[in-house]
Structure 1
Amino acid sequence: MSDKTFFTLPIELVYRIFDNLTNYSLLYSMKNVSKHFNTILAKYHRSFTILDLRYDQMTLQKIQYLSNTLEDNRTITTLFLHNNQIGSQGAEYLANALRQNQALTILNLHGNHIGLQGVQHLAVALQENETLTFLDLWENDIGDQGAQYLAKSLQKNQTLTTLEIGKNQISYQGVRCFLGVLLKNTTLRELYLSHNEITDEGALYMSIALENNQTLVVLNLRFNPITTIGKKDLGKIREKNPNLELII
């Protein structure tokens, strides 16, 4: 019986095996098998910058493996995890990775229902992360309290330019939390708040917050219960900031 192992194969043959594996397999099946194996993977010529795992029915174990990989990964810049139902625990795993990761710039968690605890973990990580520029949290059940956590993190974060928090049951109370952010933050350029519960009072808060803000270029408030009164208050923003794309 042969006593040869995978590690005794010529490196050229090992790389040919890798060439026939998907990015997913390289991450989950090959990473962290052993230190020696990680060294081989690190020297392998193929790298990818986008990892698309939308609708992949990710288990918590897979999310944990992925998060562990992201901690020291230097090539993946975009991660799509739409509709995987990762919940608060999965969000915590990813938050831990964001504290260490120095490559990821786009994170899409659209429709994962991470809840209040999940967004709290991510908000804390955002205070330390210095590379993420785009965060999509559409339909994640974060509510007003979750909006407050994010607003607090943006008071320290200086890299995030786009935040999507549509369809999250956010009311005027959640919008009020962004007052201080929009008055002082000079990084955030796009804020998406469509399909929430923002009323005229929220529209008023937003108009006050943006009175002297020249950084934000897109504000999406579509499909919120804002009447003509609120729209009139928001219209004043356009007069002071003609470069702002206001969607209501």
Structure 2
Amino acid sequence: MKAFTNVTLYGSMVMALVLLSLNVAALKSNRALRELYLSNNNLNSEQDSMQLGDLLRHNSSITTLDLSNNTIANSGLEEICEGLRVQTNGLKVLILWNNQITNNGLVHLAKVLPILKTLETLNLGENNLQNRGIHTLRESLMMNHSLLQLGLEHTHITCEGAVALAEFLAESRHIQRLDVRDNEVRAGGLMALSLALRINHSLTSLDLDHTPKQEQA
């Protein structure tokens, strides 16, 4: 019998919660599962996130975790980061798109990023991170040596945040893709990113808006 290598949960909230509760215990010892997709399931920042954090503490075989379009929020991200903290190898892709995460939640991610050895893709798009969030992550991003793709689409950053990202790019020898579309990045931020690219030799894709934002009057 062929082993399952990915699981997708979707549909009603009740079904998703029951499935998650029943399966976490089994998944802790499962070494075949590689991809877990839990988007659009109304997962919350309390019981659901605690279970996910517990799963990550015990399972280092899952390489992809998609939690997009839920309400993990800051406290839920803390639980997930605590689970990631004990992984020596494992998760490569973490998608947190649209989860009501703010700068306060990124404090937990900043603590764990420097010790993650396998994380290659981190998508934080559609969260209200603002410039403060980028400043919170900047040094930790510099200290991480595994991250290849960083998604920051529509995270409410301006030129100030872009400058912080440029500082990260100037130091990074690994990052390959950065997505900053649908933000308020104007000429000053674009110039900072352009200057950083003269130093960075790893980035192969920088996603920007097709039409640059106009300068404010």
**What TM-score results when the alignment is normalised by the length of structure 1?**
0.78
- The size of the alignment, in residue pairs, is 204
Cα RMSD for the two superposed structures? 1.4
2:56 to 98, 113, 122: 98
Does the 8 Å contact 1:95/1:122 carry over to 2? yes
Q: CA deviation at 1:94?
A: 1.0
4+ residue segments displaced more than 2 Å: 54-62
2:184 to 218, 221, 225: 225
Superposition pairs of residues 20-59 of structure 1, within 5 angstroms? 45-57=1-13, 58-59=15-16
Which one-letter code corresponds to 1:51 in the other structure? Answer: V
Q: Distance in 2 between matches of 1:176 and 1:126?
A: 22
Q: Does 1:247 align with 2:207?
A: yes
Q: Which residue in the other structure is 2:21 paired with? A: 64
Q: Does 1:115 align with 2:73?
A: yes
- SS of match in other structure, 2:115: coil
> Rg larger in 1 or in 2?
1
2:91 to 121, 132, 155: 132
Does the 8 Å contact 1:143/1:174 carry over to 2? yes
Which one-letter code corresponds to 1:108 in the other structure? Answer: D
Q: Does 1:83 align with 2:43?
A: no
Does the 8 Å contact 1:192/1:220 carry over to 2? yes
**What TM-score results when the alignment is normalised by the length of structure 2?**
0.89
Q: Which residue in the other structure is 1:27 paired with? A: none
Q: Distance in 1 between matches of 2:192 and 2:2?
A: 53
Structure 1: gaps of 5 or more residues: 1-44
**Residues 219 and 180 of structure 1: CA distance in aligned 2, closer, same or farther (over 3 Å):** same
Q: Distance in 2 between matches of 1:224 and 1:148?
A: 21
Does the 8 Å contact 1:137/1:164 carry over to 2? yes
Which one-letter code corresponds to 2:92 in the other structure? Answer: T
Q: Which residue in the other structure is 1:17 paired with? A: none
Does the 8 Å contact 1:55/1:82 carry over to 2? no
Q: Which residue in the other structure is 2:160 paired with? A: 201
- SS of match in other structure, 1:74: coil
Structure 2: gaps of 5 or more residues: 209-217
Superposition pairs of residues 102-181 of structure 1, within 5 angstroms? 102-129=60-87, 130-181=89-140
- SS of match in other structure, 2:69: coil
- SS of match in other structure, 2:103: helix
Identity across the alignment (%) = 31
**Residues 219 and 199 of structure 1: CA distance in aligned 2, closer, same or farther (over 3 Å):** same
Q: Which residue in the other structure is 1:211 paired with? A: 170
